[in-house]
Structure 1
């Protein structure tokens, strides 16, 4: 998992990075202002988040934040194990409980 320091370093170097799908670090609960800037730079279409029952409240907040940005959210708390497959052009994200 990338920590705040790692996110700061990526942003500081000014490298242009992007990703269609991102697996959020630290159960999507960390990152603060740096996490916001990081997501703003990456501009993902979807995020995958590993959550436990104890993280449910934070997961709801995260889902609202991401959906307000137009980002699809796949949480293990809701979907179980999440798989991501791609042929290099198209991708599919599925949860075993979906």
Structure 2
């Protein structure tokens, strides 16, 4: 257990940040899953509507990843690697 007041405050801050980081990471994982699911549906039914849905889901994932980088949840290189891999899936 922390002994000083500053350590007590610091542990509260760490818990708060951990909660926020988990929230952003879960948002990213959910968005990626919906994107991959839409790509799989497009591979079975090749129509222009399904392709547009995939592109919309991809842009949503990009927005969430960029916001996580802005809030320093993810490193920028990690984010660019994730984006690159997701873009290659649709090709």
TM-score (normalised: structure 1): 0.29
Higher share in strand: 1
> Highest CA radius of gyration, 1 or 2?
2
Higher share in helix: 2
